[in-house]
Amino acid sequence: MLNRIYDWIDDRIDITPIWRDVADHEVPEHVNPAYHFSAFVYCFGGLTFFITVIQILSGMFLTMYYVPDIINAWNSVYFLQQDVAAGVIVRGMHHWGASLVVVMMFLHTLRVFFTGAYKSPRELNWVVGVLLFAVMLGLAFTGYLLPWDMKALFATKVGLDIAESVPFIGEWIKTLLAGDSTIIGAQTLTRFFAIHVFFLPAALFVLMAIHFILIRRQGISGPL
């Protein structure tokens, strides 16, 4: 059945060359655990991408129930966990995945640094990777406020105070994020939701596309 569907699509848009270009490429020996025990460190990038996909899918599900206003935000999260089938599982995946994806991206960054994979000709991909890390941290920070509980409120206040301490532009950054430099309220929640769901994911998709294109052109970096 799947072969018939594939053949039907292939007859119309000729996807076989595209698929072969993506799938048919040699993998260096040093990233094969059968030859090198240290090859597992080259899995951090793939694991980061896998967790990111889980975050995107679970986040899409959460937005079907979440209400981004200060009156209903917490109630919508409570409803999702208590009354929606498998809601507590999906929210748990998104909650713990938010921490795990940062950890895996940090380990991936360490692997790239200590194996010298940031050097020529991969300098641009290193910069893209650092920007991806910054976007992921932004997603973690903006998503923390969305449940609208006391822990999220005070953690966000600390984060905004840190942003305000940036020389020259700190107050502008805080106002941009919070909407009001004096209180965390409705504007703050709305802006964090918009940044978390629209702006940062858009940047994430663009940077990931550039990252994968560069990897395909430059290949997997060699061993240390």
Mean pLDDT of the chain: 91
Cα 93-125-40 angle, rounded to 5 deg = 55
Model-level pTM?
A: 0.90
pLDDT over 90 (residue 36): no
Neighbours of 160 (CB within 10 A): 21
pLDDT over 70 (residue 224): no
Element (H, E) at 44: helix 44-63
- The stretch 195-211 carries a mean pLDDT of 97
How far is the C-alpha of 73 from the C-alpha of 146, rounded, in Å?
Answer: 7
pLDDT more than 90, % of the chain: 73
pLDDT over 80 (residue 38): no
Task: Say what angle helices 186-194 and 170-178 make with each other, to 10 degrees.
Answer: 90
* Candidate ranges 18-27, 39-48, 91-100, 213-222; pick with highest mean pLDDT: 91-100
Per-residue pLDDT tens digits for 15-31: 888 777 777 777 777 77
- Phi, psi dihedral angles at 7 (to 5 degrees): -60, -40
CATH class of 16-218: mainly alpha
Do 147 and 73 contact (CB within 8 A), yes or no? yes
Quickly tell me which residue has 């294109």 as its tokens: 213
Q: What is the pLDDT of residue 172?
A: 93
- The stretch 83-103 carries a mean pLDDT of 97
- The stretch 84-111 carries a mean pLDDT of 96
Q: What is the pLDDT of residue 130?
A: 97
pLDDT over 90 (residue 182): no
Domain ranges for the chain, please list them. 16-218
pLDDT over 70 (residue 221): yes
